[in-house]
Amino acid sequence: MIFEALKPQVETIITNDTKTTNERLLDVCKLLEKQVSYYNWVGFYFKNGNKNELKLGPYVGEPTDHTIIPFGKGICGQVAVSNENFVVPDVSAQDNYIACSITVKAEIVIPIFVNGENIGQIDIDSNTANPFTEADERFLEFVCQKVAKLL
């Protein structure tokens, strides 16, 4: 499985202390977008200080206007409130979906916890309908655990 092969590469990126945190996060995005064929946009959102909103962090893919997302709005905003993974097999079926691109068919968002607090998330869009499996969830949880050690 590709995810098992990617885990050591993620660890290598995260532990490379010659780069800044943002450089390492961007390298994780690049790795995932390049190696997983149906990951078409990969990025991080983080809680914006004491505000109830998310701020876009490093990402790879089409540019987005969604640099600030209020808690509760869209898939990312819902994960900020629920503290749970959110897998969307068909974004057109979601009434609280923020469209970033007409090519996006599915989305997966996994929260990042530091000391039990949801401080951000990894957000992945796919131009393939219903591509995400439980294996994606478990792998992305692993990625988020590793990223949490940086923050």
Q: What is the pLDDT of residues 139-151, one digit of tens each?
A: 999 999 999 999 9
What are 61-103's pLDDT values in tens digits? 999 889 999 999 999 999 999 999 999 999 888 766 666 677 8
Spell out the domains of the chain, with CATH numbers in brackets.
2-148 (3.30.450.40)
Question: Which of 1, 27, 2, 20 is closest to 11 using CA atoms?
Answer: 27
| Radius of gyration in angstroms for the set of CA atoms belonging to the chain, rounded to a whole number | 14
Task: Give every CB contact of residue 128 below 8 A, 6+ residues apart in sequence.
Answer: 38, 40, 105, 106
Looking at the predicted structure, is the pLDDT value of residue 31 above 90?
A: yes
Query: Between the CA of residue 8 and those of 32, 44, 56, what are the distances in Å?
Result: 13, 20, 26
Length of the chain, in residues: 151
The chain-wide mean pLDDT, for the chain, equals 94
